[in-house]
Each structure stands twice: as C-alpha cells, then as structure tokens.
Structure 1
Amino acid sequence: MPTEAYPDNWYDIEKALYNRSVRVFNTVKKVLSVKMKLHAETQLQQGDIFLFNHFSRFETFIPQFLIYEQTGAYGCAIASGEFFEQDSVLARYLKHVGVFPHDHDRLFSLLTAQILRGRKIIIFPEGSMIKDHRVMDEKGNYNIYSRTTGQRRKPHTGAAVLAQGVEAIKIIIRRAYHQKDHARLVWWKEQLQLDSLDQLLASALKNTSIIPANITFYPIRTSENLMVKAVDFFTDSLSLRQTEELLIEGNIMLKNTDMDIRMGKPLEPFDRKFLANHSLLEEAMANAQSLDEIFTFQAHPKDPQQKRLGDYFKKAANATRDQYMEEIYLNVTINLSHLASTLIMHLIKHREVQIERQRFLTTLYIAVKLLQNNGNINLHRSLLNPIDYSELISGSGTRFEHFIDEAKNTDLISEDDSQYHLLPKLLEDHDFDSIRLENMIAVYDNEAKPISLVRDTLIKALVECDDIDQQELAAWHFEDECRDLSWEHHAYNKPAYDDINEQETATADANPFFLDPHDDNGIGILLVHGLLASPAELRDYGDYLAKQGYTVMGVRLKGHGSSPYALQNQTWEDWYQSALRGYRILKAHCNRIFITGFSTGGGLALKLAAEHFPEIIGVSVVALPIKFINPAFMLVPLLHGTNKLVDWLSSFEGVKSFIENPTEHPTVNYRNVPVKSLYELRQLIAEMDNFVPLCAAPVLVLQGDNDPVVAPKSADEIMNKLRCPNKQLKIINSNRHGILMENIGGTWESIDAFMAQCVSETNAK
C-alpha cells in the first residue's frame, strides 16, 4: 500500500507529456530491432477496453501508444501500486500519462469516467507476466501461475466488471434521458466530469465494447546479449530472475524480433438475456448517490434487488472472463517454432524419443500447407511467404535452422546424420523464472495449445507424410511458386517504387505454368525464360509442346514479372534456385526431362544439366549471352561498383540504378533493367567456365545471325566450352533476339528434331 492514501480523484492525462512520450516511443521503435505489425480492422475505433496477454515487460509500454497513433484517442493503463509508493520521477511520470494504481479504492469508477470521456483502457487480465505461456490445463480450463501465492489461479475478471459498470451507467443515463430527467442527467455529467450533456448522451448511446488482443513475439531467443554483459559488468552478480529477463527481453528488443499484435472479435459485457434485467438495474440504481455504488452494490447490497442484480453481475463477469481469455489466445500468431514445438512435445509425450529428420521436415511442410487453407487460424507471414518456408522440406531456411540450433544448444534435442533425438529435459519441470531459458520448446507449445487446430493438423500431417504422393507435394510446391509472385507484387506495389513501376508496360500473365498433356508421352520439358521477361515469354511454346504429349513446366525466375525493384534484390543464384525448384516439380511427374532455356535461362539450363544427368536427357539453349552487341555492357561491373560505393557512403541511391531496356516485347519484359541484375548476369557468365564443361547431356545451341542483343560469336564460345559427346549448333537467319518466343526460322521444329534424337538415344540405352 502507498505511504499515504491515494486521492479520491486521480491525475488527468497531461496531453503535452503524452504526445512527447509517443514521439519518444516512435524514435525508440526505429532504433530497436522489433518489427511491430498491428492486425486490426474496426476494433481500434469501436473498442473501449483492450485486453492483452502478458509475456514481457516491454509490451506493457506499447498498446496505448499504438492505439493513439492509429486513432488519436488517449489511453489509460493500470500498473502495480508499488510504482506509486514513493514520490519518484517514475511515479510522477506515470500519474500524468494515464497510468492508474491497481489498488486504488475507486479504480473502476475512475476508469469508467475515462471511458465515457472517450479514452481507451488497456488491461492485462493475467495480472503479471506469464513466462511459461501455460494458460490452459489438461481439461481445457484457463488458469495461470501466480507468483504471489505460488499457486495456479483464474485470470482476473476486472475487465469484465469494469465493462459491466460502464454499460450499466449508460443504461441508467439513457433511462434518465427518456424520462426527461434533466436534473439526473446534469448530476451524471458532473459525476463523470464531462464537458456537456451532449457529450454525456453521445457516450451513453455507444455500446461498450471489450477487445481481446494477443501479442506474439517471434522468434524468442535465449542467447546472451549486450544488455546482460553491460549490467553484469557493473554488478557482482545477477539473480536468476534478472538474468532470465535480461536475456529473453533484451533479445526481444535487440535482435530482429517480429511483434504481431492481433485484435480479436469485440465482446459486450452482457448477453442478450440481460435486456430483461434492464428495469431491475434501473430500479436498483435509480437513487444512486455516487458513481462508486455501481461497483460496490455487489459486495454490499442495500436490498434484495441489488443482491439479485449482484449475483447476476458476478455470474456474467465470470462468463465474460472466459470468453475474452479464449479469444485472446485464439489470436496467437502461429509461426514455425509453434509447429515444430507442438510436434516435438506430441512425440515425446507419446514416448517417441526419435524421429527421422526427413519425416520431421516433411510433416512440418505438410502442416504448413494444410493450415494455409484454413481461415480459422492466424499464421505468421513467414508461413505465408514461400521465401521463408518453401525450402523447409529440404531442411534449409534461416528460421528453421535458428530453431534447431536453439533446441540443441539448450540440450532439448540432439541430431545425427538422419535423425533428431528428443531428450528427457523436454519433460522436466522448470522454475517459473527459468523455463524460458531452459525449455523454449515447452513455452512455444504452451502458447499454441489453446488452438487445438494446430495439434490436430500436425498429427494429421504426421500420419500422411509416410504415404504422401510425390505429385501432391509437387502441386503444393507449384502453388508456392505462384504464391511467391503474389508476395512480390504485394511487397513492391508501393509508392516508394512508383518512379520505375509506372514506366512498366508488361501486362502478360507472369505466373509459372504447368501443362499436363491429354496424351502423355512420359517426357517432361522444363522451360526457363530470359532476363527481364517472365514465363509468359514461353507460354505459347509450352502450349505447342503440350499438344505433342510433353508435360511442360514454365518456371518464373525470382524477381521477374512483378517489379524491376524486385529483380534488383536477386542474385543469379536466386534465379538458379527458381529453375531448380521447377525441375523438382516436373521430376515428380516425369523420370526423363529435357530443358530449353532462352538467353539467361540457357545458362541456368546448362547448370541444371551439369548437376542432374542422366535424368536430364538433353538441353537446348537459345540466344545464350556470352558476348554482347552493345559495348557499353562491358562497363556494368564499374557502374555496379560505383553504385555500391555511393550507397555505402550515403543514404542516396547509386548514380544509375536502372538502365532503360528497349524491349522487343513490351507486354512481357521490363522496360527498366537494374544495373545490379546485369552485374549478376556477368557473374553467371563467368561461372559458366566451371559448370559448362561438366555438362554430359546432349546440347543444342541456337543463335540468330543478326541478333541485336547477343553477339553471334557467343554460340561459338559455348560450343568451345562444351565437352559433351553430342553438341550441335544451329544458326537462325534473324535480326530479332526473341527467336524462341516468335518461332523465327523454324526454331521450334529444330528443337523438336533434337529432342527426338535425345529420346531415341535414351530409349536405346
């Protein structure tokens, strides 16, 4: 308790100080590595009382300022009374930015007045940090650990009680208005310290709304950080609690953490049945002498009416509490660590202490794909963006590797060549202040446990993964390739990129394509487009091949078909990975594959052939660039280096980031080529010296004799680099670069004849 009693009224928000605090918060937010993502539709405007789960100290400073940024409405919060025991700088600050002590005798009355003045109220119904994220028992009931008692308890009903009181006062005010009781309305205006009767009536007509919300941090790290080192340097030692909080919460603030704040569906303090009790409320409280009576009649009823009403309020508050706790935890933003942790805890609790690595990875990937198609779950964007999860099935990816490393470093799992071993520590009990350090897998599992769909989906994926059809997996991988284009469009369709995007004229469908022929001949054709283009460049040719019985996959090279800015951020290795993914999709349908690559795609095709013979039975490369007609291309490395230097020395763009591209096909190709992409092409050309001689598959090289982009002697250089026993050169009479797209000089038929030779040679083996 405070050394002196709290004043009956509390300090009003000092708006200038509050606004300065918001500016400081924004500055700190930019400095820290936390990326905050607010998921809300209409809840911010309509909500009065906002409820958040509580996992770290850091999050207690965030909701009211974020709400103010979005709505302009000031927010009040509740803090432990211990912060107000002394007249400290912190106590004085908190008093003037809308923070109320939890043990103030008139807390609910004071907050009610704030709500009716248009303020938002932020409450953490758990009452303290829930470090283990364990909020649900085995029977599905919500309860949490209390540090004060050392026991588990129900979450607080305070938010429900507050909402009931606010709505009850509104009902009474509306009654006074309908009865034209002007004196009573003036009395309520003064009790609530409102400016006018109009403000009183406007507030009374608005339904009271509780907004449950969830804050999810990802990832949660246990590694040491500079904050711990700095504090430890100036002190002899830290307690377990101090060390744990500095480690976990220091990493949350300092190490690229995503913070997803997701608002749930609004709740009202009473159900519809309460309409029958309106008259009872109005009669019981008609002669209330103070605002406080709304909140005290339950404990000290003056008559049977108030007792009956109080019993109903208590029952309704418990029901509302259960509702908002469920809604809070249904709005967890599920990420890969949740999925992996849930799977691990399911296995070890069923006494499966090891799992084949590939089975584990495939199960996770299947679960991701199943959950993507379920609208009843909130997935972290890394489970929606293929760049983050598509390589999961092969065990690569930064997020997955981080999770496994953390688990191994804390002795929760071990790994050998082909299996993960689940260690006994996973099932050990840990102190409340050590579990985030000792068993992060249990913490993630607890956080996801209220969403039964997560566990059910993982169990289903575990069963399915043993007999999964490879073509079904390939269909999901193809969906990922299409999804990737959508993410690129979303990422680069912003005003910051309009200077280049508005010059673009490409309108052709840039999605990858998969063509399943009516009469399948058992041969797959992989088509790889050129730099600046998209799969649309080869779509007509793909249709031509499918009619002949070939199964055709047209890949989209990363960064193409969306924005030149997207292309600027890719390397030639990224393009190669796109081609490799397309090859794997096609391989699920065909044992024998022929590749045709146009221009830059030809270089990628040769690298695939060098690494995947004899599954690849032949390659045709068309207009493969080694030498260029435009001599200015030789200056690209210098220009790229200058751009990098300018970017390093200042925040401005390089001297020339894009070069205009006078394309033959403006509906397919970018009109602006990133200098960096030309540099990456040069890197790919240089790398050809290493992989082209290793290509053992038959190769057909086609080149236009008057190509305006690629010098004809490029074909001679490729032929000289090739060491395969079957290599052929065909010169096409053309002054166009796009000889494959336009089928100039019988290009398609020439490839047909070569493919027939390759198939014949393969059949003869």
Structure 2
Amino acid sequence: MAVASMQVDKVVTKSSPKRKDHIVFTITKFIVTKYFKYLSPAIINWEGQENILENPTLFVANHYTRIETAILPYIIYQITGRQVYVLADQQFFFGLFGKWLLICGAYPIQDKNRNTRIIGDLITGKSNWVIFPEGSMIKNKKTYQDGKLQLDCPDRKGPPHTGASTLALKAEIFKRSYLDAVRDNDLEAMKYYEEKYNISGPHEVNDKPVVITPVNISYSPLRTGEHFFPRFIRKKFPDLGQRAIEEMEVEIPLLFSKKAVIDHYFTEAVYLDNYVSYLTKLKADTKGTFSEESLSDLILDWQKHGLTDEAMKKVYENNYINIDQIFSTAMRVFKGKSIHINTLTNAIYLATSEIKSSPNFRKHHTLYGNITHLIADQDYQPLKEILQIGIEEKTLKLENNILYIDPKNLAKEHNFHSIRMYNKLAVFANELEPVVDAVRIIESYINQDATTIAQLTVKNLIAECSREYVKDFQESFNDTDTPSKESFPIYLESESNEIGIVLTHGYLASPEQVRPLAEFLNSLGYTIFCPRLRGHGTTPEDLKERSLDDWYHNIERGIGVIKNSCKQYVLMGYSLGAILSLLSAAKKQGKVAGLVCINPAYIPKSLDHYLVEPTNYLNKMYNKFYQKDLLNDQVVVDESHDYPIYKHTYVKNLHHIKKAIKQTKQKLGDIQANTLILQSVNDPLFKSSGAKKLHKAIQSNVNQLSFLDSSEHDILYSDSKAIMYAQIKSYFEENFPILNIQLKNNTHDIEV
C-alpha cells in the first residue's frame, strides 16, 4: 500500500473539537491502517495525492460498492492526517456493518442536522467530508448517455444529484457573508451564522476557499464466485434478501481476492470562485431589493448543475482503463457479427498501445507487462478471463478461431441488482463510456478490415521497437548523440507471405550481427525480422537493468511482426538468441512452424558460471539494506570474440541467462516445431554435449542436429559460415519451400 504523506494545516486542525466520534475514528483509523493489509489481500492504490489541498474540502466520488464508504475516509486520513466524514444512505446502517460505518465517521443522509454540520465544518475547516453525488450505488456503471452525464438506477434516471455542490456553494457563500457581517459589524447577522453553523467567532473561520476534490474509484477484476464469507452470512442470516446476497457475491471478492486491486485517483480540485463571484456584484446591484438568502438561492439554482457536471466529469473521465473495459467496449462498438480471434487481438493491442501512449488517460496495470502475448500466440490471462466471461454469459461464442458476437444479449436489460452477476461485459463497457476519446480509439481499430489491422500492427510494432531503442540510447548517453544504425531492428520483406523468420542475435551483440544471415534468407524468399534484445546497443550499465522478461518481450514483438506478415513463422537464433527462441517455441505449444538454433548457449564450459547465482544472491540481499553490492559483479568480456560490443558485463545479466536456460530446460518437451540445431564441435564457450541434450529432449517430428567442424562460438563469421548457410538453406527448402519469389528489398547474394 503506497502512502504519500502531506503536510497538515496546523491553523485548521488546532481548533478541531474533541468530539467523541473523532476519538473513536482515530482509534479505528489506527486499527484499519495498521492491520487492514493482514485482513485483506486486496491491493489498495492511490494517486494524485498532490491534488489534495489544505483547503476545506468536499470530496465527491463514484459509488459502486459499500466498500468505498468505509475505506475512502481512511485513505484521505492516511494522506492528510485530517479528520474526514462521509455521507452514506440510511440503508447501509444495519447490524454490525452499520455500527462500524458510524465509528468510521459515516453519517446517514437522513440525519436532520447533516447539512448544517457539513456547511459549518467547511466554513471552519474543522473536518472534510466525502459525498457520493450518484445518491446510491450505480451497479450497472451506466453514467453517460448521448454525450452527457445520465445515471440509470432504479429510483431515477437523470444527472447526478446536486446536493454536494449545493453544500459546497452554501459553505463558501455563507462564509463570505459571515466575513462581510464581521467587516460591517452586523452583530445580528454574525449571531445568526455563529449559532446555526457552530462558529465560535471570526478566528475560527478558515481563510482558504472551499474546494471540491473529485475522486475516481476503480475496481478490478470484477469476478464473482463462491466465497466462504457469503456462505457463512447466508447461514447466519437466512432471511437475507437476494439483493444482499448479490452484493456479497460481488463485493466480497473485490476485497478478499488476491487479484483484487482498488485504485483511487484524486483529480485536480474544483475551485468555487467562478461559481460564486457573481454574488458580490449582485449584492451591490440589488441592495435593498432582495434578501441575502434570496440572492444565495439564486446563485445556487444558477450554478449547482454546472458545478456538479464539472466535478463528476472529472470523476468518470479519470477511470483506470483496463483490458476488461477495452474488450467489452470493442464488443459493443463492433459493427459486424463475427471476427477472427487474431484480428480481434490485433485490434485490442493497437487500441491498448494508443491508450497507453496518451497522457490523457489513467491506465490500469493490466495494460502493461506481458500484453505482447496478445499478438504473439500466447495466452494473455486478463483477456482469456474476460473472453470466458462473455462465453459464459452467452454474449460470445468461439468456434474455429472465429468469435461470434450477440449484440442483443450484450444490450439485454437485466435487473439493476443482478447485472453485475449476469452481464459483466455491459458493466465494463458502461464504465468506459464517459471516456469518449478512449471509446473512439477502440472503435476506430475494431471496425477495420483484417488486412488493414494486420498491416497497422506490423507498422506499430516496428515503430515501438525503434522508439524503445532511441529512448534507451538517449537515457544512456547525451541526448545529442545519435543512436547506432546497427542496433535498430531489421525488417526485410518478401513478396511471399507464406513463411517469415524471427532471427535473434546473441549476447552483447546487436541485430547487425545477424544481418548477413538475414539478407541471405531474404534472398531465398523469406520475410525476416531481427529484434534488438533490450540493453544491447547502449551501455553495459543499461544492460544490467534489463531482464529475461525484457528479452522475451522483444522476441514476442518480433513474432507479432512476422505473424501479421506471413501465414507461418520460424524462430531462429544464435547463442542467447537460440535459447530465447527455444523458450518461446516451447511456450507457443505447436504454433511455431520451425526452429533453428545456432550454437545455443545451453551448457557453459567455464566453471565460473557456478558462481553466478551465489554472487547475484549476496549482492541482491546486501543491496537491499545498504544500497550497494557486496561483491564486484563486473565481468570482463573476452576480446577474442568476433562481435562483442561491450568490454564488460555484469553477473546480474548472467543470472538472467541462466534463468532462461533453466526455464528452457523445463519446457523442451513442449516443442513441436520442425527443429534444426547447428553446433560447433569445439565451441570454446559452450559444451557440444548441450546440443545433444537439446536434440534428445525435443520431441518434434523433424529434429535435426548437425555438428560443424569449427573451434569458434561466433560461427556466423567463421570459416564454417558457408557450410552453415548451406545446411540452413537445405532445412528451409525441405520444410518450407518457396517458389517464384520477387523480393521487395534490394539484397546482396551470399556465396555458398
């Protein structure tokens, strides 16, 4: 739980009354903030705490569950150290939960003194308040329609309630009126405000203007299922209604699931000056014509709707966008009835990439990490889950990689108190609806034809690779330096779209290392993409910060490029690139057509590799406490290699190589691709027996092992190159023949 502390306004807090509920609140706050993480595995995040001001503040937030009524006040307390109270509907105050809400600082909406207390607290700054202008839980998350805010709930359809804005405006107006009375020595008016709003005198009035701070609360993932607690409650309280059962089934997993994440974003505060500044002029122009109360009511009627609209738009538009919402929105705005799963994942990847790149959206963590799985033939769990939900709800049907959509079922009306159980896709799409620009992005991609989407995906992936290299280079060197052309990814197209190859370079090299081989293969009619493994082409220090996940991500991008350029793809790599290709082929489980490994970095000859894990572990532990390494983890690179671009590397990197080897070893039996392994007989770095073990463990129908009469690891530039090229050519002609090819690129022939 990330906490950012803020300085407390001592002038405001020193006059706070010693209320009994404040004492109880403080005790409960201590218990909750200290022990909540042990009670619930849910991750509670917050951002935008810098937007919480020391001004008297009315927080307004969206209302989806009962949870926020209890948790939001404590988050605000954690950030500010100031007392905060919350308004909640009377129906929440039942049983032990209701008593706990009262202890937490919740106040029933029906309390007859609520308005005067809120206004008084905001005038003096004694306490801040939280109000949910939606008026009730919006379970369907339907808050936007026809370009304007429009709530859809059982008791009403219309814009959010204006009560919060009215209270904030009254507090600011009455504070100004009270200070005017003090200035004019109007004792009668002073007495009126002091008695009504519990003000002990001018010294107690906060000199900072009242503000409204909108808060967006986002939950993910919304998954329902049996949990021991709902079962216990149903047994304990057999007379519970269906509504209460539904709320437990939905909300308990949001609090007690290990996957649950509750995100809070505090937006920039809304100042009221633009809404009440008219009052001063009106008072002067109409002096003696209207009472001050009538003028105040006029201002309120005039401005409360605009203020509510401004505040609540900030709430809804700062929703944390996640894969559930993107997918569900895609299903809603898609104009067809069916779509190939590859086209769908490409469209979602493109939409997600554009949303991620924009600073105008809040992004959920599911948009990061291993999202390249979407376009690289590997399951992406968040998408897999939401797809399964759509199938279970009978909105979607998947047959032979074609997804069929039933728009009527997606738009089907459900009972307000059951929609979270039976039409989650509609709920997710509703939540994203107010973020109009994000919806437009999704709609623009999902309705493109398959060919266009594939072409856009290739273009986007290559651009991502190039941008990543430029960014890494600029962070490693001065911004004025020019990135090396040798380290940009290589893409060589062919007229044939039958077979493409992802060709990956070795450790401490760059895509340029494999360019001659790439051009040779392209001359045979194959489309080639050579990714850059992150950390290469920059500095050893940049490489030290990279991991196996980064490298695997680079391979997946390459697969995405070739998969959208050709009907089948082959993974090919040299040294470390060969290990990563093996690992990727194992994880794709039959979706990779071919696999070529050149001197795979499988079993090192040097005994030094046994020191890698102990050294890395000791440094990791020591760094945790002392922010520096215990042992020197710098490793000098043997300059006898033909193609090293760094003079040294780090143990941390060797740890990730060993990790790749270990994962590959565990999954070799899953490889189904037609395989060719080329190994130098006297490789000085890796044992030739490693190639034999790989060959034995791989169970594919075509599994060739060829030893080359060479004493070099860097065989790509050795005397055995011609023989190696001939064997590679033979492998491709036997397994993936291509005829009558005209190349798109000018390539030079390599004599074999």
Structure 2 length-normalised TM = 0.73
Match of 2:399 in 1: 416
Tell me the secondary structure at the aligned position of residue 433 of structure 1.
Answer: coil
Task: Give the alignment of 1:197-276 within 5 angstroms.
Answer: 200=205, 203-204=206-207, 206-236=208-238, 238-255=240-257, 256-271=259-274, 274-276=276-278
Match of 1:156 in 2: 161
The answer on 1:457 being equivalent to 2:441 is yes
How far the C-alpha of 1:241 sits from its partner, in A, is 0.5
Instruction: Tell me how far apart the structure 1 counterparts of residues 135 and 151 of structure 2 sit (CA, whole Å).
Output: 12
- Note closer, same or farther for the CA distance 1:400–1:307 as it changes in structure 2 (3 Å cut): same
Match of 1:57 in 2: 66
Indicate the RMSD between aligned Cα atoms, in angstroms: 5.3
State whether residues 11 and 95 of structure 1, in contact with CA within 8 Å, keep that contact through their aligned partners in structure 2. Answer: no
State whether residues 331 and 405 of structure 2, in contact with CA within 8 Å, keep that contact through their aligned partners in structure 1. Answer: no
Stretch of structure 1 that moved more, 102-111 or 546-555 = 546-555
State whether residues 76 and 84 of structure 2, in contact with CA within 8 Å, keep that contact through their aligned partners in structure 1. Answer: yes
The answer on 1:165 being equivalent to 2:165 is no
Match of 2:509 in 1: 537
Counterpart of 1:514 (choices 489, 492, 503) is 489
How far the C-alpha of 1:468 sits from its partner, in A, is 1.3
Match of 2:5 in 1: none
Instruction: Tell me how far apart the structure 2 counterparts of residues 81 and 592 of structure 1 sit (CA, whole Å).
Output: 62
Quick one: which amino acid aligns to residue 528 of structure 1? Answer: T
- Note closer, same or farther for the CA distance 1:79–1:262 as it changes in structure 2 (3 Å cut): same
Match of 1:498 in 2: none
Counterpart of 1:681 (choices 661, 684, 687) is 661
State whether residues 134 and 447 of structure 1, in contact with CA within 8 Å, keep that contact through their aligned partners in structure 2. Answer: yes
Output one character per residue of 1:116-143: Cα deviation in whole Å (capped at 9) or x when no partner: 2353211111121111212234463423
Quick one: which amino acid aligns to residue 316 of structure 2? Answer: Y
State whether residues 505 and 513 of structure 2, in contact with CA within 8 Å, keep that contact through their aligned partners in structure 1. Answer: no
How far the C-alpha of 1:622 sits from its partner, in A, is 3.1
Match of 1:68 in 2: 77
Match of 1:438 in 2: 422
Equivalent pairs counted in the alignment come to: 681
The answer on 1:367 being equivalent to 2:351 is yes
Structure 1 unaligned blocks of 5 or more? 1-8, 287-301, 494-507
Task: Give the alignment of 1:8-407 within 5 angstroms.
Answer: 12=19, 14-26=21-33, 27-45=35-53, 48-81=57-90, 97-115=104-122, 116-117=124-125, 119-138=127-146, 140-146=148-154, 150-172=155-177, 175=180, 200=205, 203-204=206-207, 206-236=208-238, 238-255=240-257, 256-271=259-274, 274-281=276-283, 303-304=290-291, 306-347=293-334, 354-383=338-367, 385-388=368-371, 390-391=373-374, 394=377, 396-407=379-390
How far the C-alpha of 1:608 sits from its partner, in A, is 7.5
Tell me the secondary structure at the aligned position of residue 143 of structure 2.
Answer: coil
Tell me the secondary structure at the aligned position of residue 731 of structure 1.
Answer: coil
Tell me the secondary structure at the aligned position of residue 85 of structure 2.
Answer: strand
Structure 2 unaligned blocks of 5 or more? 1-15, 476-482, 638-643, 741-752
Instruction: Tell me how far apart the structure 2 counterparts of residues 467 and 715 of structure 1 sit (CA, whole Å).
Output: 40
Instruction: Tell me how far apart the structure 2 counterparts of residues 223 and 175 of structure 1 sit (CA, whole Å).
Output: 59
Match of 1:582 in 2: 558
State whether residues 194 and 200 of structure 2, in contact with CA within 8 Å, keep that contact through their aligned partners in structure 1. Answer: yes
Quick one: which amino acid aligns to residue 510 of structure 2? Answer: L
Tell me the secondary structure at the aligned position of residue 635 of structure 2.
Answer: coil
Match of 1:628 in 2: 605
Match of 1:294 in 2: none
- Note closer, same or farther for the CA distance 1:546–1:404 as it changes in structure 2 (3 Å cut): closer
Match of 1:701 in 2: 679
How far the C-alpha of 1:430 sits from its partner, in A, is 2.1
Tell me the secondary structure at the aligned position of residue 446 of structure 1.
Answer: helix
Tell me the secondary structure at the aligned position of residue 70 of structure 1.
Answer: helix
Tell me the secondary structure at the aligned position of residue 262 of structure 1.
Answer: strand
- Note closer, same or farther for the CA distance 1:659–1:224 as it changes in structure 2 (3 Å cut): farther
Tell me the secondary structure at the aligned position of residue 450 of structure 1.
Answer: coil
Output one character per residue of 1:358-383: Cα deviation in whole Å (capped at 9) or x when no partner: 44434333322333344433332212
How far the C-alpha of 1:428 sits from its partner, in A, is 3.2
Tell me the secondary structure at the aligned position of residue 447 of structure 2.
Answer: helix
State whether residues 587 and 593 of structure 1, in contact with CA within 8 Å, keep that contact through their aligned partners in structure 2. Answer: yes
Tell me the secondary structure at the aligned position of residue 364 of structure 1.
Answer: helix
State whether residues 700 and 727 of structure 1, in contact with CA within 8 Å, keep that contact through their aligned partners in structure 2. Answer: yes
Quick one: which amino acid aligns to residue 369 of structure 1? Answer: S
Instruction: Tell me how far apart the structure 2 counterparts of residues 118 and 153 of structure 1 sit (CA, whole Å).
Output: 33
Structure 1 length-normalised TM = 0.72
Instruction: Tell me how far apart the structure 2 counterparts of residues 313 and 12 of structure 1 sit (CA, whole Å).
Output: 31
Instruction: Tell me how far apart the structure 1 counterparts of residues 723 and 554 of structure 2 sit (CA, whole Å).
Output: 27
Quick one: which amino acid aligns to residue 239 of structure 1? Answer: G
State whether residues 514 and 552 of structure 1, in contact with CA within 8 Å, keep that contact through their aligned partners in structure 2. Answer: no
- Note closer, same or farther for the CA distance 1:367–1:595 as it changes in structure 2 (3 Å cut): closer
Tell me the secondary structure at the aligned position of residue 452 of structure 2.
Answer: coil
- Note closer, same or farther for the CA distance 1:675–1:236 as it changes in structure 2 (3 Å cut): same
Quick one: which amino acid aligns to residue 464 of structure 1? Answer: Q
